[in-house]
């Protein structure tokens, strides 16, 4: 493989930053602490003689009795701290400085989400070890001329020695993992002199993707789309929606934009919802570019996080693919952002700093003056509104690649086709599965609910088993033999006796989960081979990969799964998709319930008939006239989006109005409620001139008790032009919040739990 591309230059703007007129003798340093700041953004420090600091430098400073690592946010300091109280910067770290684009982004996100800037900075400095220069790695090899037999080695020690005899030196943790022994075994052998340490160089730089390796032969409309995206590279900020049906080749097309950025020597960030970060995607990437991208997600080890963070910050990682937190990596030379599956609500971070990674990615691109591509077959209403108003450009791929037909979607009216008592699959669906199996093809039964049954009640008194910490029923997981709360994760064994009436008559399962569908499939099709795919039935990515392989290799006839199967998998022989409960996502009255259900079902439907075999989708529903079901059956996405947009516009809801939620929570219900009521009374609707702003609540949040905390919610609704952040700041600044109560702000809330 030849490669003419230059590695992206390391931290170029570091050298391009103008030198300050005179050496700064004071600096403001922002520390990665989630505390609201009393003055400005950070604390002032004196720069000791001989130290030359620039904005973005990573420094160690004293804070109280400790030392902490922070970032030089401003030269000159705020000037608000008297000279006598200033402390010295302790040291400048040998780490790549935080680039200006990322610093501006941190400040922007903090002010938008109302999070303390230090809490946002902490996401950009999430791997403290990466701020130290990389150290050589200590590895072990067998000591030559050592008389092993004199040691009378245990079987475990023998395993390590014979394993190491045939491999290059490895770090202790790797030896333990690969030889399948505990860490103490290697340590003991090293102390006895049977192993000796050798120093390996620090992690090698990631391999270079080759933009020219294996270009797809693009169809004309694909080529036009790819050209439009590639032309934007290097031309400053531009947001583009890549809008195309599943299987139209969107991935192939945005790979060409990535290639263009690589050729320009720039770094690329691809954001995927965690769940879509599949081995399949990585394999496709590798086939196209010759190596794996640099990954960033929750499955990485601590050492991988350190190496990858540093490789990005030194400009050595050309392409990064990651979940939402990858937005906060320290790219010195970012040239393009791609957000795949932009409509996914998984991009909303709900804990800590609450932010929407797709929206923040657009801001990141804007601040860095680079193009961003949002990719979806079912774009969010937010993105569509931005296309309509001209903020985003749209590039469309209307057809499936190679003429593959879109699946035919039909509704099964469950009022007319009731399943027998205690069953969930209607006669027409059962018939369709039978036909599919007879044709030697595969079927998928989709139900977005883990476990056996969503509700379990006492056979004698009807008592419902509920979570002790939450307002939620316990879900039976029969395979694991446990009850589980899907809100907080609490698990317990199914009790022998009813906790209410003490009867031992046993419990009844009410309603289906995927495990119960699997049971029904076993009874209906005893000869079929089936597989169950849900996040709790598969332990980790390797198991998922193995499962997907077995489906692709046709070792499975019927696939039963939750939304885990909906994402991006490609099964050529899967021709039937049965949606067990198409109405499931529509209950609950969530603002985005219809939109989300449409997106999910559309995506599931897209699993059917991706190759030469045409697909068929059956939706079991009790409400076949619902706009979501109608839109799916008629294949009219845009009409659905328009109708949905009209409803939202009329109600002044996002994306045409703004929402912010305040969640008031605490252990003491009376106190929490009192604070919520007080906040409600002082809400900004009472301000003169703010008549268009409405505050709803306080209401007990739908899960009024969550993880043992009582929760109340206030919802602020305002027209788009209103500066919601300013309103909230003003409102909260006046409020007296006792220590035992927590108020969290959620701008643009997606979850109404």
Can you give the binding site for ligand ADP, defined by CB under 6 A?
216-219, 222, 244, 246-252, 401, 570
Contact pattern for Zn ion over residues 472 through 511, marking x by CB under 5 A: -------------x-xx-x-------x-xx-x--------
How many Å apart are CA 196 and CA 188, to the nearest integer? Answer: 11
Which of ligand ADP, Zn ion, none has residue 570 at its interface (CB below 5 to 8 Å by kind)? ligand ADP
- The residue number whose beta carbon is nearest to ligand ADP equals 249
CB 658 within 8 A of CB 719: yes
Virtual torsion, Cα 201, 205, 207, 208, nearest 10 deg: -140
Binding partner of residue 248 among Zn ion, ligand ADP, none, CB under 5 to 8 Å per kind?
Answer: ligand ADP
Is the CB of 384 or the CB of 467 nearer to Zn ion? 467
Q: DSSP label at 659? A: E
Least distance (Å) from Zn ion to the CB of residue 671? 21
Q: Is 427 or 588 the residue whose CB approaches Zn ion more closely?
A: 588
- Residue nearer to ligand ADP on the CB measure, 260 or 313: 260
Q: Token digits for 688?
A: 């003169």
Q: Could you tell which of Zn ion, ligand ADP, none binds residue 626, using a CB distance below 5 to 8 A set by kind?
A: none
Q: Pick the binder of Zn ion from 260, 329, 346, 467 (CB under 5 A).
A: 467
Closer CB to Zn ion, 259 or 453, in the complex: 453
Retrieve residue 74's tokens.
Answer: 């401003």
401 binds, among ligand ADP, Zn ion, none (CB under 5 to 8 A by kind): ligand ADP
Partner touching 467 among ligand ADP, Zn ion, none, CB below 5 to 8 Å by kind: Zn ion
Compute CA distances 441 → 204, 550, 564, 741, whole Å. Answer: 46, 14, 21, 57
In whole angstroms, the minimum distance from the beta carbon of 254 to ligand ADP comes to 8
Which of Zn ion, ligand ADP, none has residue 126 at its interface (CB below 5 to 8 Å by kind)?
none
Least Å distance between CB 485 and Zn ion? 3
Taking the complex as a whole, how short is the minimal distance between the CB of residue 585 and Zn ion, in angstroms? Answer: 21
Q: Nearest approach, Cβ of 282 to ligand ADP (angstroms)?
A: 13
Is the CB of 341 or the CB of 583 nearer to ligand ADP?
341
What residue 487 binds from ligand ADP, Zn ion, none (CB within 5 to 8 A, per partner kind)?
Zn ion
Q: Which does 704 bind (CB under 5 to 8 A by kind): ligand ADP, Zn ion, none?
A: none
743 interacts with, out of Zn ion, ligand ADP, none, CB within 5 to 8 A per kind: none
Cβ 253 to ligand ADP shortest distance, Å: 7
Tokens of 594: 């219809």
Nearest approach, Cβ of 572 to ligand ADP (angstroms)?
Answer: 9
Residue 44 or 252 with smaller CB distance to ligand ADP: 252
Exposed e or buried b per residue across 538-571, where buried means at least 16 C-beta atoms within 10 angstroms of its C-beta: beeeeebbebbeebbeeebbbbbbbbbbbbbbeb
- Of 396 and 503, nearer to Zn ion (C-beta) is 503
As measured in angstroms, the least distance from the Cβ of 451 to Zn ion is: 14
Tokens in use for 54? Answer: 């620039």
The item of Zn ion, ligand ADP, none sharing an interface with residue 251, based on CB under 5 to 8 Å by kind, is ligand ADP
Q: Closer to Zn ion at the Cβ: 492 or 612?
A: 492
Find the shortest distance in angstroms from Cβ 147 to ligand ADP.
57
Please report the DSSP string for 313-379 in residue order. HTT---EEEESGGGGGS--SSEEEEEEETTT-GGGEE-SSS-EEHHHHHHHHHHHHT-EEEEEESS-
Which lies closer to ligand ADP via its Cβ, residue 354 or residue 376? 376
The b-or-e profile of 330-355 (16+ CB within 10 A means b, else e) is bbbbbbbbbbbbbbbbbbbbeeebbb
* 514, 477 contact by CB (below 8 A): no
Rounded to a whole number of angstroms, the minimum distance from the CB of residue 752 to Zn ion is: 17
Q: Which does 113 bind (CB under 5 to 8 A by kind): ligand ADP, Zn ion, none?
A: none
CB 679 within 8 A of CB 727: no
Nearer to ligand ADP, 246 or 456 (CB): 246
Task: Give me the 446-465 binding string for Zn ion, x by CB under 5 A, dash otherwise.
Answer: ------------x-xx-x--
Provide the minimum distance between the beta carbon of 214 and Zn ion in the complex, in angstroms, as a whole number. Answer: 49
Contacts 24+ apart (CB under 8 A), 518-527: 518/560, 519/452, 520/423, 520/424, 520/425, 521/425, 521/445, 521/558, 521/560, 524/425, 524/430, 524/433, 525/433, 525/434, 525/437, 525/557, 525/558
d(CA 126, CA 130): 9
Select 24 or 397, whichever has its Cβ closest to ligand ADP: 397
Give min distance, CB of 482 to Zn ion, in A: 13
Measured from the CB atom, the residue of 61 and 319 that comes closer to ligand ADP is 319
Classify strands 475-477 and 616-621 as parallel, antiparallel or unpaired: unpaired
CA dihedral 152, 158, 160, 165 (to 10 degrees): 100
Which of 665, 652, 668 lies closest to 714 in space, CA to CA?
A: 665
What backbone phi and psi angles, to 5 degrees, belong to 563?
-60, -10
Q: How far apart are CA 125 and CA 202, in angstroms?
A: 20
Minimum distance from residue 497 beta carbon to Zn ion (Å): 8
Burial class (CB in 10 A: 0-12, 13-18, 19+), 373: buried
Minimal distance, residue 244 CB to ligand ADP, in Å: 5
Q: Which does 247 bind (CB under 5 to 8 A by kind): ligand ADP, Zn ion, none?
A: ligand ADP
Contacted entry of Zn ion, ligand ADP, none for residue 219, CB cut-off 5 to 8 Å set by kind:
ligand ADP
**How buried is 60 (Cβ within 10 angstroms: 0-12 exposed, 13-18 middle, 19+ buried)?**
middle
Residue closer to ligand ADP (CB basis): 190 or 218:
218
First and final CA of the chain: distance in angstroms?
52
CA atoms of 221 and 234, how far apart (whole Å): 23
| CB nearer to ligand ADP: pick between 222 and 426 | 222
Q: Is 437 a residue that touches Zn ion (CB under 5 A)?
A: no
Closest CA to 588 of 429, 687, 448, 724: 448
Whole-number Å distance between alpha carbons of 583 and 567: 20
Nearer to ligand ADP, 230 or 518 (CB): 230
C-beta of residue 229 within 8 angstroms of C-beta of residue 306: no
Cross-strand partners of 483: 476, 492
CB of 514 to Zn ion, least distance (A): 20
Structure tokens at 517: 């569908």
501 binds, among ligand ADP, Zn ion, none (CB under 5 to 8 A by kind): Zn ion
Give the residues lining the site for Zn ion (CB under 5 A).
Answer: 458, 460-461, 463, 467, 469-470, 485, 487-488, 490, 498, 500-501, 503
């Amino acid at each position: 493989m030849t490669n003419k591309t230059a590695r992206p230059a390391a931290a170029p703007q570091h050298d391009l930053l103008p030198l300050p007129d005179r050496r700064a003798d004071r600096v403001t340093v922002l520390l990665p602490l989630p505390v609201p700041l009393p003055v400005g953004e950070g604390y002032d420090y004196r720069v000791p003689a001989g130290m030359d600091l620039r904005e973005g430098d990573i420094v160690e400073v004293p804070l109280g009795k400790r030392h902490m690592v922070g970032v030089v946010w401003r030269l000159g300091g705020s000037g608000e701290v008297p000279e006598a109280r200033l402390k010295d910067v302790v040291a400048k770290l040998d780490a790549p400085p935080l680039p200006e684009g990322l610093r501006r982004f941190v400040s922007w996100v903090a002010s938008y989400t109302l999070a303390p800037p230090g809490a946002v900075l902490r996401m950009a400095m999430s791997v403290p070890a990466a701020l130290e220069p990389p150290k050589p790695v200590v590895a072990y090899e067998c000591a030559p001329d050592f008389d092993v037999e004199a040691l009378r080695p245990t079987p475990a020690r023998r395993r390590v020695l014979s394993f190491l005899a045939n491999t290059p030196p490895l770090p202790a943790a790797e030896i333990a993992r690969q030889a399948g022994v505990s860490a103490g075994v290697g340590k003991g052998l090293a102390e006895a002199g049977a192993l000796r340490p050798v120093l390996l160089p620090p992690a090698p730089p990631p391999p270079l993707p080759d933009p020219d390796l294996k270009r797809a032969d693009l169809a004309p409309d694909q080529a036009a789309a790819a050209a439009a995206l590639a032309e934007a590279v290097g031309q400053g900020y531009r947001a583009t929606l890549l809008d195309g049906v599943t299987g139209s080749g969107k991935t192939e097309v945005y790979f060409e934009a990535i290639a263009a950025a690589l050729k320009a020597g720039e770094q690329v960030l691809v954001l995927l919802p965690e769940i879509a970060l599949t081995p399949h995607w990585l394999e496709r990437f590798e086939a196209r570019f010759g190596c794996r991208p640099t990954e960033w997600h929750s499955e990485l080890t601590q050492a991988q996080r350190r190496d990858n963070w540093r490789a990005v910050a030194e400009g050595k990682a050309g392409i990064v693919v990651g979940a939402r937190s990858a937005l906060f990596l320290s790219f010195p030379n970012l040239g393009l952002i791609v957000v795949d599956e932009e409509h996914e609500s998984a991009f909303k971070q709900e804990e800590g700093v609450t932010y929407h990674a797709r929206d923040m990615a657009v801001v990141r691109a804007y601040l860095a003056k680079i193009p961003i591509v949002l990719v979806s077959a079912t774009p969010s209403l937010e993105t569509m509104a931005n296309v309509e108003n001209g903020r985003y450009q749209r590039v469309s791929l209307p057809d499936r690649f190679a003429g593959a037909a879109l699946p035919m979607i039909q509704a099964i009216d469950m009022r007319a086709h009731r399943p027998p008592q205690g069953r969930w699959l209607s006669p027409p669906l059962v018939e369709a599965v039978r036909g599919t199996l007879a044709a030697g093809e595969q079927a998928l039964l989709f139900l977005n609910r883990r476990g056996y049954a969503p509700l379990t009640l006492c056979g004698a008194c009807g008592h419902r088993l509920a979570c002790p910490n939450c307002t939620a029923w316990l879900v039976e997981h029969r395979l694991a033999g446990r009850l589980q709360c899907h809100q907080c994760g609490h698990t317990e064994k199914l009790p022998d006796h009813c906790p209410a009436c003490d009867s031992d008559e046993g419990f009844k399962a009410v309603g289906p989960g995927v495990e119960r569908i699997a049971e029904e499939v076993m009874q209906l099709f005893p000869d079929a081979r089936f597989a169950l795919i849900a996040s709790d039935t598969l332990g980790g990515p390797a198991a998922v990969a193995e499962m997907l392989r077995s489906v692709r290799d046709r070792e499975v006839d019927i696939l039963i799964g939750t939304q885990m199967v909906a994402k991006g998998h490609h099964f050529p022989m899967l021709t039937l998709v049965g949606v067990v409960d198409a109405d499931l996502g529509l209950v609950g009255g969530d603002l985005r319930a219809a939109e989300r259900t449409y997106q999910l079902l559309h995506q599931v439907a897209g699993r059917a008939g991706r190759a030469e075999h045409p697909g068929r989708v059956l939706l079991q529903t009790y409400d076949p006239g619902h706009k979501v079901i109608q839109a799916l059956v008629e294949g009219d996405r845009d009409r659905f989006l328009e109708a949905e947009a009209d409803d939202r516009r009329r109600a002044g809801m996002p994306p045409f109005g703004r929402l912010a939620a305040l969640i008031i929570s605490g252990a003491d219900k009376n106190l929490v409620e009192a604070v919520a009521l007080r906040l409600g009374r002082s809400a900004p609707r009472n301000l003169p001139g703010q008549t268009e702003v409405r505050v709803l609540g306080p209401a007990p949040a739908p899960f009024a008790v969550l993880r043992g905390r009582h929760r109340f919610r206030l919802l602020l609704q305002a027209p788009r032009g209103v500066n919601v952040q300013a309103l909230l700041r003003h409102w909260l600044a006046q409020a007296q919040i006792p220590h035992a109560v927590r108020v969290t702000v959620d701008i643009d809330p997606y979850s109404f739990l």
